Chains A and B, each alone.
Chain A
């Protein structure tokens, strides 16, 4: 089934640990995005990639890194997790442009303790 998949679904992580959230899509979309969702703050863009091999910073990039080695995968890494990174993380993909629909993964609920 075509779509976008995130893993894990949820995770409890000790502060200071490294964590990679995975995102894979099979729709051959060239653009991919990572958002965090916190109550009252909506969806805030962390990093994005318009094509394989390129990435860019969003609104809240500090403490996160991404890579885009191929079209399908866009992992998000927290090098040293802190409690303020407790959030629900969504990955999305679409064709690059002003008028293209984005598809979201089901989200990863991350708790940093």
Chain B
């Protein structure tokens, strides 16, 4: 059974602070890992992905994520958050060799950025 766990349901930070959102997964095969952001009332937007190579991947708007095979993790980070980063962040896994490669999502972390 594939699972994606996001341990923090809600994170509150001040503008300019750094933030790390945790994602742990359980899957036996080769996978793609990705992060998506969902602003209120909008669809999901892609932030970044990892499949192989350098375990630190850069995404849009200053986000980066680090893959760790030993920890089965793919944590998302940003060095300095902006108020517009307030949103729900979803970690997702998709099997690399399955025909449709449907995404399996975590339940999200809501980030609230205070001025």
Are A and B interaction partners? no
Please report B residues at the A interface, Cβ cutoff 8 Å: none
